[in-house]
Structure 1
Amino acid sequence: MSAPEAGSNIQIKSYKHNGKLHRIWESSLVLKGTETVVIAGNDKTRVMESDGRTWITREPAITYFHSRYWFNIIGMLRTDGIYYYCNISSPFVYDEEALKYIDYDLDVKVYPDMTHVLLDEDEYEQHSRQMNYPRVLDRILHRNIDELLRWVHERKGPFNPDFIDQWYERYLTYRTY
């Protein structure tokens, strides 16, 4: 697998388990790109939904993708703190077209005080039946939710108080060129 180059712009594409395109983030600036980890930033980027609707993100965000974990993390910088939106998803893959992953419906929202809530359990159950998620996938996803929550409690990775700030500073540096 190749890796996107720091300083380059990439698309981020999420799919559903059945292979259908779910959502596209038109442009994110790569801050770190390896075969294992991709960290990118964006601000007011255009997002296209599978039904053709589009919207623009409201605030700067730092995204974190890992090739071994079944989640990705978006740290959104708001005036009252950093909010995290965590997609329970397949590990990412990158090709010359885009960074890609499968979205498995479940999401964890983490507030600046590190309280959190699991979202979209009903959507997960519905899609699990419709798309015949295998039992092993259910176990993998729930194990990774546990791992993600451990990261939150331990302030690991993107949940470390300095992580988002440091990568946002790098994002601003790239944007000035």
Structure 2
Amino acid sequence: MELQENQYVYIQSYKHDGSLHRTWAMGYVLEANEKRIVAVTNRTLVSESDGRKWVTREPAICFFYPDKWYNVICMIRKTGIHYYCNLASPSIYDGEAIKNIDYDLDVKVSPTGKTMLLDEDEYEQHAREMAYSKALDRAIHKGLDRLMVDIRLRNSPFEHHEINALYERYLACMELEKKQ
């Protein structure tokens, strides 16, 4: 089954050992093609592997790629667009959910473009515990390098105009949905 635009989708993130890491109950699909899936979460229920549940505070435009070792969550806040990038396996849609494997390393990007690499200790610990191969480690770090280049060059999705346009499109879709 192919993912369609203007439908809701379940999002699942796993760990390397196959255990469920985090799920998002609902993402609204704005774009679904061979290059990427763009889904919006807004006041969405998130379930953590430890049983905690919480609801997202702000709208976020999420980018999932079938050929990149990262995904990007663009949070729309009063202070501007904040980017949270997860180093993860390429994402797939299998008819049930958008799925990927989270590899711990994260990069935060502020609205001004300042970047911060997070969770290096968690990555090292899980690499040992779950026996990440050298090839996997290389793929993840190559993904990190590519991500940092995309951030520096403000390639999609690190360009505020694109995010604002997608958010406006989402709001228009929600208005239409209300009227139906």
User: What root-mean-square deviation, in Å, do the aligned CA atoms of Structure 1 and Structure 2 show?
Assistant: 0.9
The match for 2:120 is: 121
1 CA distance for matches of 2:92 and 2:134? 23
CA contact (8 A) 1:3 1:35 kept: no
The match for 2:153 is: 154
The match for 2:44 is: 45
1 CA distance for matches of 2:29 and 2:97? 11
Post-superposition offset of 1:52:
1.5
Post-superposition offset of 1:3:
3.7
1 CA distance for matches of 2:3 and 2:52? 27
CA contact (8 A) 1:14 1:101 kept: yes
The match for 2:24 is: 25
Post-superposition offset of 1:175:
1.0
Residue by residue over 1:113-158, the C-alpha shift from the partner in whole angstroms, topping out at 9 and shown as x without a partner, is 1110100000000000000000111111111111101111111001
Aligned to 1:4, the other structure's residue is in SS state coil
TM value normalised by structure 2: 0.95
Aligned to 1:151, the other structure's residue is in SS state helix
Where do residues 61-72 of structure 1 align in structure 2 (5 Å cutoff)? 61-72=60-71
Percentage of pairs with the same residue: 48
Aligned to 1:68, the other structure's residue is in SS state coil
CA contact (8 A) 1:67 1:91 kept: yes
- Consecutive unaligned residues of structure 1, counting only runs of 5 or more, are none
Amino acid of the structure 2 residue aligned with 1:105: D
CA contact (8 A) 2:61 2:73 kept: yes
Residue by residue over 1:82-122, the C-alpha shift from the partner in whole angstroms, topping out at 9 and shown as x without a partner, is 00000000000101110000000000000001110100000
TM value normalised by structure 1: 0.97
Residue by residue over 1:58-79, the C-alpha shift from the partner in whole angstroms, topping out at 9 and shown as x without a partner, is 1010000111000000000010
